[in-house]
Amino acid sequence: MTATPMTHKEPELTAPVMLCGPDGLLKRQAVKKWNYWAVTSDDVLFSATIADIERVQLGGAYIFDRRTQQHIEKVVLQPPNAIAIPETVAGDMVIDHPDMRVALTEEGAGTRIRVEAANFGGMRLRADIIVERLEAHETLNVVIPWTDVQFQYTSKQNTLPASGYVQIGDERLDFAAPAFGCLDYGRGVWPEHTVWNWGSASGVQGRRTVGLNLGGQWTDGTGMTENGLCVDGRLTKISEDLVFDYDRTAMMKPWRVRTVASEGIDLLFKPEFERVSESGRQDGFFSSAHQMFGCYSGRITPDGGESIGIRDLFGWIEEHEARW
């Protein structure tokens, strides 16, 4: 489900730069902005999002409990420009809708995620989680260029220590070590129609803390990728397209994700649950996401050449198509 894989010589940015010059090439009215957080333990995934997709702003939250296969989700919408969305990775934003409040705020050396809703699957939701940003922890930050006026900056940050709780009705779910936060931060001007694959996981494998970021389709032909491994806080950038082997007609079948030119990644993902999120119409603007929750197994080879076995690493993988 991807183009012929290639290895790329990617330029590296080692200091902050402005992505647009003073000539105004960036079409600010078409910028898509989102901060997506997912917090995982061995048993639970909780996600909170604030996004601005030009025509609407949204706040969202969902939870998946592996033990019961319970999935609950809620999204609220508000008009464009109702709140300011920060232009930097660190920054405060709050959607305070009558049906749900989503707050992503910076506290100390981390982000505090707070969500409240009176009706979350028929129950009251309250979540309060702190995700730490460790000073020496390396993250994946790339600019994907489609054209001079279409590009996406993404910051993928995984294996960030997380602590806190989610309470739904009378049940309280606590996040404690080893629980991890993952940030998908995006700012960019996208083509009107796009398809992407994204896979991610954070967890402990033996004595190593391992994070995966696996991307495909949307970066094809750009000479850049968003693929990386984070092992014990050190990032290995995979400058090679990945092959995503999966059945679009039966996404609950196992997925295989691998590099071809190297031994960097060879993983099998076994889905446990399919989260489907669809909006709009196929003949107009629409979004269709199939996000699979489950476990990765296989092998990865970070910088240094040591092969690390992966077994039952909880995370997700998805296909998302949008015309926006």
How much is the average pLDDT of 234-249? Answer: 97
CA separation (Å) from 314 to 65, 137, 210, 293?
A: 12, 21, 11, 8
Q: What are the DSSP calls for 212-253, one per residue?
A: EEEEESTTTTTT---EEEEETTEEEEE-BPPEEE--TT-TTS
Q: Which residues neighbour 288 within 8 Å (Cβ) at sequence distance 6 or greater? A: 277, 278, 320, 321, 322
Question: Has residue 19 got a pLDDT over 70?
Answer: no
Give the integer Cα–Cα distance in Å for 184 and 139: 11
Tokens encoding 168: 């739904």
The answer to whether 214 and 256 have CB atoms below 8 angstroms apart is no
Give the integer Cα–Cα distance in Å for 284 and 234: 43
Nearest to 194 by CA among 283, 324, 281, 316: 324
Nearest to 204 by CA among 297, 292, 310, 291: 310
Residue-wise pLDDT for 4-15, tens only, equals 566 766 656 565
pLDDT at 149: 87
pLDDT at 16: 61
pTM of the predicted structure, to 2 decimals = 0.91
Distance of CA 184 to the CA centre of its chain: 4
CA separation (Å) from 302 to 3, 107, 234?
A: 24, 32, 9
Domain spans of the chain, in order of start: 31-190, 191-324
Lowest mean pLDDT among 103-107, 112-116, 177-181, 221-225: 221-225
The answer to whether 30 and 53 have CB atoms below 8 angstroms apart is no
Residue whose token pair is 């796009």 = 194
Output 94 or 149, whichever has higher pLDDT.
94
The answer to whether 320 and 198 have CB atoms below 8 angstroms apart is yes
Residue-wise pLDDT for 245-304, tens only, equals 999 999 999 999 999 999 999 999 999 999 999 887 766 788 899 999 999 999 999 998
Domain 31-190, CATH number (from 2.40.370.10, 2.30.30.50, 1.10.287.3510, 2.60.120.10): 2.40.370.10
The number of C-alpha atoms within 13 Å of 222 and in the hemisphere containing its C-beta is 23
pLDDT at 195: 94
Q: Which residues neighbour 305 within 8 Å (Cβ) at sequence distance 6 or greater? A: none
Residue-wise pLDDT for 203-212, tens only, equals 999 999 999 9
How, if at all, do strands 151-168 and 255-258 pair? unpaired
Nearest to 195 by CA among 317, 288, 109, 280: 288
A 10 A CB-CB count for 177 gives 10
How much is the average pLDDT of 142-158? Answer: 94
The answer to whether 111 and 105 have CB atoms below 8 angstroms apart is yes
Give the integer Cα–Cα distance in Å for 121 and 130: 24
pLDDT at 63: 99
Query: Where residue 27 falls among pLDDT bands split at 50, 70, 90?
Result: very low
Give the integer Cα–Cα distance in Å for 254 and 284: 31
pLDDT at 136: 94
pLDDT at 14: 60
For 180, the enclosing helix (H) or strand (E) is: strand 180-189
